[in-house]
């Protein structure tokens, strides 16, 4: 995909290995943000890749997602739907209040949450949020993080 940024045109590419969709029921929801830290400028954004997975970690297709910002300001769609590969992508756009933003996603009775830091420019760069969740969730998130690649290339000047 490509988007327009404040600095000019930017290209965003998401690459993943597509596994065949499972016919099993959803047992896990995994959220993979492209950025875990944003500037609280009301403009910065992070793409969230959301996966609905069966008990073995295989994607489950065509699942409705309910999305809620539990803590912090900013904006994100309330709903989405996974595609035939069990993947959905939505953008969270930062608000203006510094702090932790918590986003929760629910599908088929299963819930996942992710925390993002929203801080001013110049705030200590070493501040990050550790991943959280059950051991199984952390393992699935790590496995999918290794096969979902994201790259944003800014265009400098014209």
Structure confidence by residue, pLDDT tens digits, 26-83: 999 999 998 999 999 999 999 999 999 999 999 999 999 999 999 999 999 999 999 9
pTM of structure: 0.84
What pLDDT sits at residue 5? Answer: 43
Concatenating the DSSP letter of every residue in 94-142 gives E-SS-EEEEEEEEETTEEEEEEEEEE-TTS-TT--PPP-S-HHHHHHHH
Euclidean distance between the first and the last CA atom of the chain, given in angstroms as a whole number: 20
What are the tens digits of pLDDT across the range 68-125?
999 999 999 999 999 999 999 999 999 999 999 999 999 999 999 999 999 998 887 7
């Amino acid at each position: 995909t490509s988007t327009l940024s404040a600095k000019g045109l930017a290209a965003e590419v998401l690459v993943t290995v597509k596994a065949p969709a499972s016919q099993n029921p959803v047992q896990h929801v995994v959220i993979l943000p492209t950025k875990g830290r944003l500037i609280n400028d009301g403009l910065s954004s992070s793409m969230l890749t959301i996966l609905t997975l069966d008990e073995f970690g295989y994607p489950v297709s065509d699942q409705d997602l309910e999305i809620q910002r539990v803590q912090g300001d900013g904006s994100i769609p309330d709903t989405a739907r996974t595609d035939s590969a069990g993947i959905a992508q939505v953008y969270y756009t930062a608000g203006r209040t510094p702090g932790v933003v918590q986003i929760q996603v629910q599908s088929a009775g299963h819930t996942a949450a992710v925390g993002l830091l929203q801080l001013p420019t110049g705030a200590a760069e070493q501040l990050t949020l550790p991943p959280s969740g059950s051991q199984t969730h952390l393992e699935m998130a790590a496995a999918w993080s290794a096969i979902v690649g994201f790259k944003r290339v800014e265009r400098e000047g014209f």
